[in-house]
Amino acid sequence: MSSTTKSTTKTRTRTSRAAVLLAAVGTAAVGVATLAGPAEAGPRDVDRPKVTERNHDFGRNWAAGAPVNGGHLEWELSGGRTYVTLSGYHYLARQKCGRVRVKYYDSSHDLLGTDYSALHCAPGNGKTQWFVTEHFSSRTVEHAHVDVVNAQGKLIGGDTADFD
């Protein structure tokens, strides 16, 4: 074998070894990243707010004149922000009108924001329901009031929840 051929063979061998080593390091890095999970994911909390008032209710799974369970108020910390999502059914009866209101507060109980569902009205004397979803995010939200209010905004009933 000539010296040029030996030199080329050594260079190819070094290149092949480097490629194998680089591939192994890359595979290990991907494995570690996969085990760690999403870098932004944080603590989660789910509360179950429920309002049961005459002709105005909020929750899930209606039975015997009221929701059996509360709705879902999901809290998630991600990237330094807390994301809050409320979902559940707004139940109305006897031609009553109202909406679901969510007020968001910080740890000092300072109001950060308010969300309202659409105004709903029961068309007759029987129960009618609407699915409601509200979203909010803030760096300081820690507490929420989930309320049912009438068409004029007067409080009918409510429940509170904290990001634990």
Confidence of residue 1 (pLDDT cuts 50, 70, 90): low
115-147 pLDDT, tens digit per residue, is: 999 999 999 888 999 999 999 999 999 999 999
The β-bridge relationship of strands 143-150 and 120-121 is: unpaired
Q: How many residues does the chain have?
A: 164
Kindly state the average pLDDT of the residues 47-69. Answer: 94
Q: Are 90 and 132 in contact (CB under 8 A)?
A: yes
* Token pair in block for residue 74: 């999901």
What is the model's pLDDT at position 37?
39
The share of the chain scoring above pLDDT 70, in percent, equals 74
